[in-house]
Amino acid sequence: MTAEQVAASVESGMAVGIGGWGSRRKPMTLVRALLRSPVRDLTLISYGGPDVGMLCAAGKVRRVVAPFVTLDSIALEPHFRRARQTGAIEFTEYDEGMFMFGLLAGAHRLPFLPTRAGLGSDVMRVNPELRTVRSPYGDGEELVAVPALTPDVALVHVNRADARGNAQYLGPDPYFDDLYAKAAGRCYVSCERLVDPADLLKEGPVQSLLISRSMVAGVVEAPGGAGFTSCEPDYGRDEAEQRRYVETPWEDFREQG
Amino acid sequence: MSRADVCVVACAEAFRGDGEILAAGIGGAVTVLAARLARLTFEPDLLTHDGVCLLTGDVPALGEAPQVVEGWLPFREHLWLVLNGRRHVMLGASQIDRHGNTNISCVGDWARPKAQLLGVRGAPGNTRCDPTSYWIPKHSARVFVPEVDMVSGLGTDRGAYELRRVVTNLAVLDFGGPGGAMRLVSVHPGVSVADVVAATGFELAGAGDDVPRTREPTEEELRVLDRLDPGRLREREVAG
């Protein structure tokens, strides 16, 4: 597939889960294709980085579901900040662990999963739709019932994939990309390099095969497709480009490509 | 011996007695150095990590890769560990109140903040499930506020598991005051109690005449710090 075909399959109003973490292994080629598409009113579900920032800057977003939005080496994401401070977007703010449990619930087709993370904090205040459950066992503990996160579409970027969608990460951290793939209605994978299935185990052990083709609707070969975020071990974060992104007015940055 | 050296040692002291759990410093040089210093001196069973996702078998200098890797700790394992509880993290805070409620999410009304910051990150779960300490490099009334705008990390009045201590550029504090209120434990060499009180936007327990001085680093600790941070990155983080 092409990135444009992936973007064209995303409809206005959909919930889009975006893999990676902060400014690490974000599917930026697919995100940039969304920027060029007419889509709008998206709900983004993301351990947020420049994916969230760019889509907010381009006016594509109605709601962000996230525990943070950061560029890692630059703590605060300028376009997400502006969107929040101008009231341009709605925000569902979760604890990092709550967010993972939301993805796990979605991946396991459960309505919710219980956790302690979030209890006592203002996450409960600013998300009045959140409910608690009481343990049915002797302890009777009250826990947050984190509702399943179920994106309509998930977008992830990995190091290698075969044409049918078996996806491999070669870096040190899988992040939560497998959970996005399993929780979503359909998942699109972009990869640094398409390889023959017979070659998948030449570069990494079997445990590096993160996502099965049964979870993947389409594959896009996109060398550099996480840039300027990192995609270890193929490349690190392009810090100069990230700085330029932060320092350049959005319309200029977007025109310069 | 510099103020930063005193701060690192005061942060390291937060990990005393923790044993075989992960000592996690978030961000900057001071908290990372503190965990590594504690492990190399008085708390040898601590686990420390490389800031990415490796548990290091040795204790490398800042910015250097470990020679020995003893475990794997991707983000999903961090989040598991938070719920499991075998982790003591030293967090930062943009605002903190007298019960240790902290805010890293936003300043102003959450619905439309004056300044959007990071988001709550893992602070709610960390503070509910694990011992937590704080490192605040600039002790001021902007940070030490009567009420935080968005409770990210829980205070002693909201069910925090255990708030161990707060270390700032001026002092060490804990929550041994009445009703779990913040209490002044010690002031750093060269700092007066009045300095700390003036930089704190709420009433501070224990701010009397007989406040001890924060202990100075030992010679061994200074030697270890010089090996771990030969470029003295810790100095850049501590307000004078």
Q: What is the pLDDT of chain A when averaged over all its residues?
A: 98
Answer yes or no: do A176 and B110 touch at CB < 8 A. Answer: no
Answer yes or no: do B121 and A173 touch at CB < 8 A. Answer: no
pLDDT digits (tens, 9 = 90+) for A1-52: 999 999 999 999 999 999 999 999 999 999 999 999 999 999 999 999 999 9
Answer yes or no: do A172 and B76 touch at CB < 8 A. Answer: no
Residue A46 lies in a domain: yes
pLDDT band at B127 (very low <50, low <70, confident <90, very high): very high
Q: Determine the pLDDT at residue A24.
A: 98
Answer yes or no: do A93 and B120 touch at CB < 8 A. Answer: yes
Q: For A119, which of B114, B122, B128 is closest by C-beta distance? A: B128
Answer yes or no: do B124 and A100 touch at CB < 8 A. Answer: no
Closest approach of chain B CAs to the CA of A118, in angstroms?
Answer: 5
Q: For A85, which of B54, B114, B127 is closest by C-beta distance? A: B114
| Phi, psi for residue A90 in degrees, rounded to 5 | -95, 155
In percent, the amount of chain A with pLDDT more than 70 equals 100
Closest approach of chain A CAs to the CA of B19, in angstroms?
Answer: 24
Closest approach of chain A CAs to the CA of B207, in angstroms?
Answer: 29
Answer yes or no: do A117 and B110 touch at CB < 8 A. Answer: no
Q: For B128, which of A93, A94, A120 is closest by C-beta distance? A: A120
In angstroms, how far apart are the furthest CA atoms of chain B?
51
DSSP letters for chain B: --HHHHHHHHHHHTTTT--SSEEEE-SSHHHHHHHHHHHHTT-TT-B-B-SSSEEESS-PPTTPPPS-EEEE--HHHHHHHHHHT-EEEEE--SEE-TT--EE-SEES-TTS-SEE-S--TTHHHHHHHSEEEEEESS--TTTB-SS-SS--B--TTTT-SEEEEEEESSEEEES-SGGG--EEEEE-TT--HHHHHHT-SS--BT-SS-PPBPPPPPHHHHHHHHHH-TT-HHHHHS--
Closest approach of chain B CAs to the CA of A208, in angstroms?
Answer: 13
Closest approach of chain B CAs to the CA of A84, in angstroms?
Answer: 6
Residue A186 lies in a domain: yes
Whether pLDDT at B109 is above 90: yes
Whether pLDDT at B144 is above 90: yes
Residue A139 lies in a domain: no
pLDDT digits (tens, 9 = 90+) for A82-106: 999 999 999 999 999 999 999 999 9
Mean pLDDT calculated for residue range A130-148:
97
Domains of chain B from N-terminus onward: 3-237 (3.40.1080.10)
Residue A155 lies in a domain: yes
Residues of A in contact with B152 (CB under 8 A): 121-122
For residue B81, give the chain A residue with the closest CA: A97
pTM over 0.90? The answer is yes
Indicate which CATH number applies to the domain containing A153.
3.40.1080.10
Residue A136 lies in a domain: no
pLDDT digits (tens, 9 = 90+) for B2-39: 999 999 999 999 999 999 999 998 878 999 999 999 99
Answer yes or no: do A95 and B120 touch at CB < 8 A. Answer: yes
Answer yes or no: do A67 and B122 touch at CB < 8 A. Answer: yes
Higher-confidence position of B145 and A257: B145
Domain range spanning residue A44? 3-94+149-211
Q: Determine the pLDDT at residue B240.
A: 62
pLDDT band at B209 (very low <50, low <70, confident <90, very high): confident
Do the Cβ atoms of A174 and A185 come closer than 8 Å? no
Residue A56 lies in a domain: yes
Q: Determine the pLDDT at residue B26.
A: 82
Q: Which of these ranges, A58-62, A219-223, A245-249, B235-239, has the smallest mean pLDDT? A: B235-239
The residue among A159, A158, A164 whose CA lies nearest residue A178 is: A158
| Tokens 């994939």, located at residue | A161
B200/B140 Cα distance (integer angstroms): 6
Does residue A180 sit at the B interface (CB-CB below 8 Å)?
no
Q: How many domains does chain A have?
A: 1
Does residue A120 sit at the B interface (CB-CB below 8 Å)?
yes
Answer yes or no: do B53 and A173 touch at CB < 8 A. Answer: yes
Q: Determine the pLDDT at residue A253.
A: 96
Q: For B121, which of A67, A81, A86 is closest by C-beta distance? A: A67
B158/B63 Cα distance (integer angstroms): 37
Does residue A44 sit at the B interface (CB-CB below 8 Å)?
no
Whether pLDDT at A69 is above 90: yes
The residue among A90, A82, A33, A32 whose CA lies nearest residue A61 is: A90
Closest approach of chain A CAs to the CA of B187, in angstroms?
Answer: 30
Q: Determine the pLDDT at residue A119.
A: 98
Cα B21 off chain centre by = 16
For residue A49, give the chain B residue with the closest CA: B118
Q: Determine the pLDDT at residue A62.
A: 98
Residue A62 lies in a domain: yes
pLDDT digits (tens, 9 = 90+) for A183-200: 999 999 999 999 999 999
The predicted complex's ipTM stands at 0.95
pLDDT digits (tens, 9 = 90+) for B62-106: 999 999 999 999 999 999 999 999 999 999 999 999 999 999 999
Residue A112 lies in a domain: no
Does residue A45 sit at the B interface (CB-CB below 8 Å)?
no
